[in-house]
Amino acid sequence: MSPIPVRASPSAHVRRPPMPRHPCPPDTGKASEVPAMNHDSQNTTERPKHMKGAERRRRTLRTATALAGAALLLAGVQGPAVAAPSPAGPTTAATAETSHTVELTSTAEALTAPATTRPGLTTFHASTTQAGKGWIGLARLKDGKSWDDFRDVLSRALSNTPSDVPQGAKDLDDTATLLGGLVIHPGQPGSFTQRLQPGTYLLFDYLTVGDAQPRHRPLTVTGDAVDQGLAPTATIVSRNVPGAGPRFEIRGALRAGRPLRYVNEIPGQVNELLFVKIADGTTEADLRAYFASMPDDGTFPPNSPFTSVSLGSLHLSTGRSSVVQVPLERDRYAAITWSKDATDGIKLVKKGLFTIVDVG
């Protein structure tokens, strides 16, 4: 996320310099990293103003590169053809309140979202018609924090530089609560449910946070509560298992096209949940070896075991959950995350936070 546009359009990846986060073959890409404000603000008497600005621009550029690479991570691998959704019309407050569904539409030109909705169990339905746009996240900023603060700290919490991550993760926890969102693609819309309290939330596009004009919208929650959410068929929990480390635990059965609940229970750790198809015969040992071969600089080795784009939930803060519905098919997937360990900046997949799942 940077003032210099670094776009994450899968169709453009062959024309770009190599980007970080690329577990697929050389032309492919993935999902999820962002930016915010940092600890440099505590040392304002120690640096000239122009130096602080230059440092922030460098950090933001690194974030933009990291996010674009994340966006490409699997986005360049073509899965089965999917019919494009019909264009969504403009969302009105009345529509959102009647069904308690918030429509989020991304195009090449803009993000369309309502300015208000009512409290309670709320379903966000998101679609995009433009590759490289439309991974909409939901967050709630803490008192006194701004969009610029959020961009800066998120960039460090999700950085490809391991040494930046621990302090970035702490600063992110002090700045905002991440409430999920969707990794989707043109023709593959999705929905997620979150319980909203009265107040102001932030909707933002992970794939544009590094652009000169990042897409973000305030969402004011007010009025009488209405509960109407998605009914999950399974729950996936990310948690620390004593003696083993971070793991995904699956409860229930994953069904094609049906909602699932994602819960993040790892202390002090924001985390995402992504699904990507894997090649026939791929084992957990194969995935473990592939992840172990990844350098920590955000680049990816060849011979990827992945065969589709990624779909799933964007980051949740510790202790948060979201019900997510994305167009999974009856197939074999890897459930993965590209989040880094908040204690040392190492990718969580290297520590075992992945599993193979069969979607029925």
Tens of pLDDT, residue by residue over 208-254, are: 988 889 999 999 999 999 877 899 999 999 999 999 999 999 999 99
Q: Which amino acid is at 304?
A: S
Say what the pTM is.
0.78
For residue 316, give both structure tokens. Answer: 């949740």
pLDDT at 10: 31
The mean pLDDT value for 255-266 works out to: 98
Strands 216-221 and 116-117: parallel
DSSP state of 240: E
Tens of pLDDT, residue by residue over 77-136, are: 333 333 333 333 333 333 334 458 999 999 999 999 999 999 999 999 999 999 999 999
Better-predicted residue by pLDDT, 21 or 157: 157
Tell me the residue length of the chain.
360
DSSP state of 128: E
Question: What's the chain's average pLDDT?
Answer: 80
pLDDT at 210: 82
Tens of pLDDT, residue by residue over 281-327, are: 999 999 999 999 998 877 889 999 999 999 999 999 999 999 999 99
DSSP string, 268-321: T--EEEEEEEB-TT--HHHHHHHHHT--TTS---SS--B-S--EEEEEE-TTEE
Please classify residue 13 by burial: count the beta carbons closer than 10 Å to its beta carbon, then call 0-12 exposed, 13-18 middle and 19+ buried. Answer: buried
Q: Does pLDDT of 66 surpass 60? A: no
Tens of pLDDT, residue by residue over 336-350, are: 999 999 999 999 999
Domain count, the chain: 1
Q: Which amino acid is at 57?
A: R
pLDDT at 156: 94
Residue 192 belongs to domain spanning: 1-360
The gap between the terminal CA atoms of the chain, to the nearest Å, is: 37
